[in-house]
Amino acid sequence: MATSTSISERYVLVTGGAGYIGSHCTVSLLTAGYKVVIVDNLYNASYESIVRVARIAGVSSVPFHKVDLLDQRQLSAVFARYPIWAVVHLASAKAVGESVQRPLDYYHINVTGTINLLRAMKDAGVRNLVFSSSATVYGDPPIIPIPETSPLKPESPYGRTKVVIESLVRDLCDSDEGWNAALLRYFNPAGAHETGLMGENPKGVPYNLMPYLAQVAVGKREYLNVFGSDYETKDGTGIRWVNS
């Protein structure tokens, strides 16, 4: 249980820790002196990223369990094995377009998976959570850059699953059970680690713009699709020429 061990010996659980954001987050936690355990089903990631995380952080290995959040039994077993005091929840199905085609799957994976995680946390006495939400919760925002106070108007099942989970987390924090949580809403995080050992190279078709663009640049894919025809430049890029 999290309450039986000193804070210096407790672990941060990172769900989706083999993914792009998860691997970089794990490196940051390890280099800051935290102990980390990763759970990931490796659906769109590789164990190689965890090997590189350990190399970058200068540790022999990072505890890892191939667990799907829909498997309540295996998830609870991880909490029983480690003295976890906080969770960084990054695991989810995350393709906007795919979510339109498979809304039931997205609600099941994202919402049910998170409920399983929160139940496991509650049973283990863990009340500290960082949840990876998304800027998609804002839909088509009226102001760019998007202020945090912008109305929540998600336009896809994926975005709506994030709003549902945010609401659940807020309700937990409003309860009398002592929950602490942070909700992170980012959009298209990009960039490789300064060592060059770790970037974003997902299995299959990338779900985000930057890895798709990178695969085109290195010749892995033939071209990058640009949708729409109402751009201010002929080729749809963001380049703007300024006459001096």
User: 152 vs 118, 135, 137, 147, CA distance in Å?
Assistant: 23, 9, 5, 11
Per-residue exposure over 39-58, b if at least 16 CB sit within 10 Å of its own CB, e if not: bbbbebbbeebbebbbebbe
Please say if 207 is a catalytic residue.
no
> CA 157 to CA 52: how far, in whole Å?
33
Looking at residue 34, the DSSP 8-state letter turns out to be -
- Indicate which residue of 11, 107, 158, 212 is catalytic: 158
Please check whether residue 92 is in contact with residue 113, taking contact to mean a CB–CB distance below 8 angstroms.
Answer: yes
User: Nearest CA to 25 among 132, 161, 158?
Assistant: 132
**Cβ contact 83:1 at 8 Å:** yes
Alpha-carbon distance of 209 to 96, in angstroms, equals: 12
Place of tokens 């989970």: 165
Q: Mind telling me the catalytic residues?
A: 158
